[in-house]
Amino acid sequence: MENAHKNCRFYLPVDAFKGFCKRDKNRINADDSCCENFERAKQCQSCAYFDHLEEFSGKCMQRFFAYPDMNALTCSDFKWLTQKN
Amino acid sequence: MHSSSIENTTTMETLNYYGKNISETIEGREAKPNPTPRAERLRSLYLDTKSSASVEFPYWYTRRWEELDGEIPVIRRAEALKSAFSHLTPVIYPEELLVMGKASYLRGSYPMPWLSEAYFMATEDRMYNDAMQAGKISADTVTTMGQGGGNVTQSMGNVLSIAGKFGLRKEEMPVLMNIARRWYNKSVDDIGHKYEQMVPAYKEKEAIMRSVICMFDSGYTLPQGREVINYYYPLQYGIDGIIAYCHQRAAEIAGKYEMDRLYFYKAAAITLEGIQKWILNYADEARFLAGLEKDKKQQLEYAEIANRLQWIASKPPRNFTDALQLIWTFHIAVLNEDAISGLSPGRLGKVLYPFWKTDFDKGLISREETLEWLECMRVKFTEIDCFASMGVVGGVLSGNTFNNLCVGGLDKDGKEASNELEMLILESGMRCDTPQPTLSMLYDEKLPEEFLLKGIECTKIGTGYPAWVNNSTAIDFLLNNYGEEGMKPEEARAWSIGGCLETSPGSWMPLDFAGKKWLIPGGSAPATSVGVHFISLPKILEIVIFNGTDPRTGQRIYPEHNRKLDSYEEIWTIFQDYFRRTVEVLTLTNNIQHDAWRKITPSLVNSLLKPDCLSSGRDIGNQGARYNRTFNVEITGGVNLVNSLASIKKNVFDEGHFSISTLRDAIKANFGYKSALETGYYSLLEQVKNENFQSWLKIHKLCIDAPKYGNDNPYVDDIFKKWTEWFCTMCSDYKSLYNKPLYACMISVSTHAPMGAVTLASPDGRLCGTTFADGSLSAYPGSDKKGPYALFSSATCYDHSLAQNSQLNMKIHPSAVKGREGSRKFLELIRSYLRKGAFHVQFNIVDSRMLKAAQLHPEQYRGLMVRVAGFTQYWVELGKQIQDEVIARTEYEELS
């Protein structure tokens, strides 16, 4: 799993390229490497119900197609894969 | 300029007929006040933001839709919407007062493959390959992408460009393709297409679309919009109140006659539950941010946001800020249910007045605080993007979303209806000048001078708004059009503009607040501009001249007429015949598309807001709204058509300067010039002659010298009148799928550019590929030579209340309206036009040299706005075809 800003729970996307850090409001790029305050965001790839199949796709609960980077903050079924990084 | 003989005319003299050389010194616009620091920072963030698409909403929509295979369609739709709303990731940006957005980006939007997946299917391989080849880039590279403003015109790094505008993260592309494939043969586009083919003249329709005689289909592109939203029910009852009403009505109806009502109420309640969850997710995010925040003021604001959202998720608003947040939430909720342009807030200053006035009188909010909220609202409306194909977003909308806010007008009893909040709305539009919401002044003779001068002050600084619209002309149209559905003069006064310039019916709604009863206006019809989307009039004339064939492609469009075209009347008759054929087949096929739309993706959010859907239990697709005669026929290039007919009449038949056959050859030769598509110059200001220039010089000069609309010349104005009256009458011969007659809509939006691009030279001297005259009443750039009052006389040669609108754009040099004296002269100019019965006029107050400089150095003009045709847009986000046309427009240096 990537540890880029876009994978961090403190990342606030402005557009597809960039966003803010919610902690300090600094402007950051989605794809840049994370800092020491990184906390993994709830995304499909960090969910126990997600099976990774190809680079950008997988299955949710073995039934529904899904993709690793999808936000799961609002998913009521989300369950951490093991434990928070 | 034209005293020299034809033989001696130089290239520059011919070209300068259409405008003058641009000198070096740029005259600035009048100074404007600044926004509050907060709004300035939020606007700066917007200006530094790229349009971005995401698949979160379509993913959850599609997933839930598939889970419910076999369920009653409207329930399935509601559950899909609920799932999508519930799962949208909340994003709240620093310093925002008003929160929530369409998607989880500042300028976010998303495709709706249930409407049409064709674009993705057609480009699947290319987009998939782009995704696989994408790589990481630095922010510096992105921020140098100045041209195009917020448009992602090229794929860069891990972001793919879609439709030349939207950025999509590469990791989302495969799932988008996956979703698109799931809608193949199930989308409104695909289902509609299947049944459209049963229309006998379907093949002719296909030929019409391929030759771009018509700009785009209606039912699956922008099936809603060009209408005024109605915020009344959430403001009066709160979301819990509406849900309770739906449950109560469902219980009363269950098992009884007209069972569809049961499903509608059930679906409305389900959808609202999704909206509630969406709001509450934002409240949670605000609390999370408050927990992280170290700055006390910002922390308090996050807490207030959370409190406000928590409240409005279920209850009616307590105050002005609750009300503003609630109406904004519902505005974007409607935008999220469909591909929509032109969902207008309408007369928002009257809708919010009860809340604002109560708070203001109690000392709970000051004028300055109100302005800060209104400025933040302007930024939020400007963030709205509409995801559609390049042809629609670029070619029609110019990236605009047409959220028209109207001020002025009359109240139910016919008294002038301006108020202090509307003054603040105008002030906020000056201080925080942004494209959205655009403003329109519903001009009425009863409005106070001070209020009108405030509007003038706003127009003068170059915002392009307010547009000036004639209240009484609109009311005449509404009563003519909706009288059969029961509209009375009192209710007609509740009207507003939907979209850029679509006259839309409204109703007065009885709001209870602070122990008083208030009448607030709101829209009471669905989309008032669906049906036949933009017929290119010069293109049809071209095909008449070329015996039913498109000379650009060589394809047959209409049956051969095989006439010699040896009289003007014959040309006019064949033109009418071809035009009628076009309207007929497009009406039938679009009716089928809209039928597919209402069956597959019925409107729920918009429906539950529109009177009388909730009381009748029918959505807008089943005529639940109060007024339903809302289908129209839109046209483009009317002035070029009329100028061309005048040129043919004079040069070929009255004076016999050349034959129709010679004219045909001249058109094919583009009068000895290179095509605009070859040169990249789209107005006549800058064109490049070819080696045959001299052979066609005389004919071209005769065509250019033929009478032109806009000069108070009866020769051409009579042609204009005859055409317009015929068009406005013939529309009612065709019926919508609700069996109601169509009406005429006379605006161009941005279609005059792409439709000009596919049209050869025209008999009025316009060259191949160049942009048509904009609007419906704007003179062709540079051809109006007798001043504004002559233009007004030409423009009012017919009764404007025959159509839904008319559109006149004027460009005035800033020096002509300077100071208080300039303001009064400006107001008198507008008055004189509207008193002739005109419907609309709008202005660019700008020095053309500034536009030219901005074209050369877009990076220095990121915030420069211009008025195009019914909307204001950032200069850098306009295509060059439109930019060239705006530069070339006649610039009035004095108002006499």
Report the phi/psi class of residue B100: left, alpha or beta, with left for phi > 0 and alpha for psi in -120 to 50: left
Rounded percentage of chain A residues whose pLDDT exceeds 70: 96
Which of B272-276, B330-334, B690-694 is predicted least confidently?
Answer: B690-694
A16 and B142 within 8 Å at the Cβ level: the answer is no
pLDDT of the residue at B395? 67
First-to-last alpha carbon distance for chain B, in angstroms, is: 21
Residue B337, pLDDT above cutoff 80:
yes
Query: In the structure, what pLDDT confidence band is assigned to residue B653 with cuts at 50, 70 and 90?
Result: very high
In 3D space, the residue among B892, B648, B696, B711 whose CA is nearest the CA of residue B687 turns out to be: B696
Q: Using a CB–CB cutoff of 8 Å, tell me whether A21 touches chain B.
A: no
DSSP H stretches of helix in B738-787: 752-757
pLDDT of residue B85 exceeding 90, the answer is: yes
Average pLDDT, chain B: 93
- B85: three-class secondary structure by DSSP: helix
pLDDT tens sequence across A32-59: 999 999 999 999 999 999 999 988 999 9
Tokens of B765: 């001297």
Instruction: Find the mean pLDDT for residues B64-82.
Output: 98
**Could you give the CA distance from residue A56 to residue B586 in angstroms, rounded to a whole number?**
42
Average pLDDT over residues B734-746: 98
Q: Is A4 an interface residue toward B (CB < 8 Å)?
A: no
Q: What angle do CA B293, B295, B297 make, to 5 degrees?
A: 110
Q: Which residues of B308-337 are buried (b: 16+ CB within 10 A; e: fewer)?
A: bbbbbbebbbbbbbbbbbbbbbbbbbbbbb
CB contact at 8 A, B202 and B585: yes
Q: Do residues B624 and B638 lie in contact, with contact meaning Cβ atoms separated by under 8 Å?
A: no
Mind telling me how many Å the CA of A33 is from chain B's nearest CA?
11
Strand partners, A29: A18
User: SS3 letters for B493-526?
Assistant: CCCEEECCCEEECEEEEEEEECCEEEEEEEECCC
Cα atoms in the Cβ-side hemisphere of radius 13 Å centred on B457: 19
Round to whole Å and give the CA distance between B685 and B679. Answer: 12
Q: What is the pLDDT of residue A85?
A: 40
Pick among A74, A75, A77, A78 to test the B interface (most B CBs inside 10 A) = A74
d(CA B873, CA B879): 11
What predicted TM-score, i.e. pTM, was given to this entire model?
0.94
Dump pLDDT digits (tens) for B95-148.
999 999 999 999 999 999 999 998 887 777 676 666 656 544 433 332 223 346
Burial (Cβ within 10 Å: 0-12, 13-18, ≥19) of residue B564:
exposed
How far does B864 lie from chain A, in Å, by closest CA?
Answer: 22
- For the residues B651-664, what does the mean pLDDT come to? 98
Helix, strand, coil share of chain A (percent; to 5) = 5, 35, 60
Q: Which residues of B are catalytic, by number?
A: 500, 502
Would you tell me how many other CB atoms lie within 10 Å of the CB of residue B448? 11
Closest chain A C-alpha to B83 CA, distance in angstroms: 10
Do B536 and B759 contact (CB within 8 A), yes or no?
Answer: yes
Give me Rg for the CA atoms of chain B.
27
Of all residues in chain B, the percent with pLDDT exceeding 70 is: 94
Question: Cis omega (within 30 of 0) on the bond before B316?
Answer: no
Q: How confident is the model at residue B10 (pLDDT cuts 50, 70, 90)?
A: very low
| pLDDT score, position B134 | 52
- Enumerate the residues of chain B whose CB falls inside 8 A of the CB of residue A13: 52, 91, 104-105
Q: How far apart are the first and last CA of chain A?
A: 11
Rounded Cα distance, B763 and B648, in Å:
7
Are the Cβ atoms of A69 and B169 closer than 8 angstroms? Answer: yes
What per-residue confidence (pLDDT) applies to B397?
Answer: 74
Q: What is the pLDDT of residue B869?
A: 80
Report d(CA B354, CA B304) in Å as an integer.
22
Three-class HEC string of B774-830: CCCCCCCCCCCCCCHHHHHHHHCCCCHHHCCCCCCEEEECHHHHCHHHHHHHHHHHH
Average pLDDT over residues B734-742: 98
Kindly determine whether residue B51 and residue A15, on different chains, have CB atoms separated by under 8 Å: yes
Pairwise CB contact (< 8 Å): A10 & B87:
no
- Cα separation, B1 vs A50, whole angstroms: 75
Beta bridge partners of B336: none
Which residue in chain B is spatially nearest to A43 when comparing CA positions?
B89
Instruction: Please report the DSSP string for B200-229 in residue order.
Output: TTHHHHHHHHHTTSEEE-STTTS-EEEEE-
Strands, E, within A2-73: which ranges? 11-13, 18-21, 27-29, 50-54, 57-60, 64-66
Contacting residues of A for B105, CB less than 8 Å apart: 13-16
Q: Whole-angstrom Cα distance, residue B397 to residue B346?
A: 19
* Distance of residue B416 Cα from the nearest chain A Cα, in angstroms: 43
**Per-residue confidence band for B568, with pLDDT thresholds at 50, 70 and 90:** very high
Q: Distance between alpha carbon B612 and the CA centroid of its chain, in Å?
A: 26
Q: Which residues are within 8 A (CB) of B506 and not within 5 positions of it... i.e. 6 or more apart?
A: B228, B230, B346, B347, B491, B494, B495, B496, B521, B522, B523, B524
Per-residue pLDDT at B392 exceeds 70 = yes
pLDDT score for B131 = 61
Of B88, B91, B167, Cβ closest to residue A12: B91
Q: What is the pLDDT of residues B835-874, one digit of tens each?
A: 999 999 999 999 888 999 999 888 888 889 998 888 888 9
Query: Collapsing DSSP states into helix, strand and coil, what is residue B831?
Result: helix
> Is the CB of A82 inside 8 Å of chain B's CB atoms?
no
Q: Is the ipTM of this complex over 0.85?
A: yes
Task: Check CB contact under 8 Å for A70 and B167.
Answer: no
Do the beta carbons of residue B276 and residue B239 sit within 8 Å?
yes
Who's near B744: CB < 8 A, 6+ residues apart? B632, B633, B635, B727, B728, B731, B802, B803, B804
pLDDT of residue B527: 97
Minimal Cα distance from B279: which residue of A?
Answer: A74
Q: Would the CB atoms of B157 and A12 count as touching at under 8 Å? A: no
Q: Mean of the pLDDT values across residues B593-620?
A: 98
Has residue B15 got a pLDDT over 60?
no
Lowest-pLDDT choice from B636-645, B776-785, B882-891: B882-891
Tens digits of per-residue pLDDT, B361-377? 999 999 999 999 999 99
- The predicted structure's pLDDT at residue B893: 85
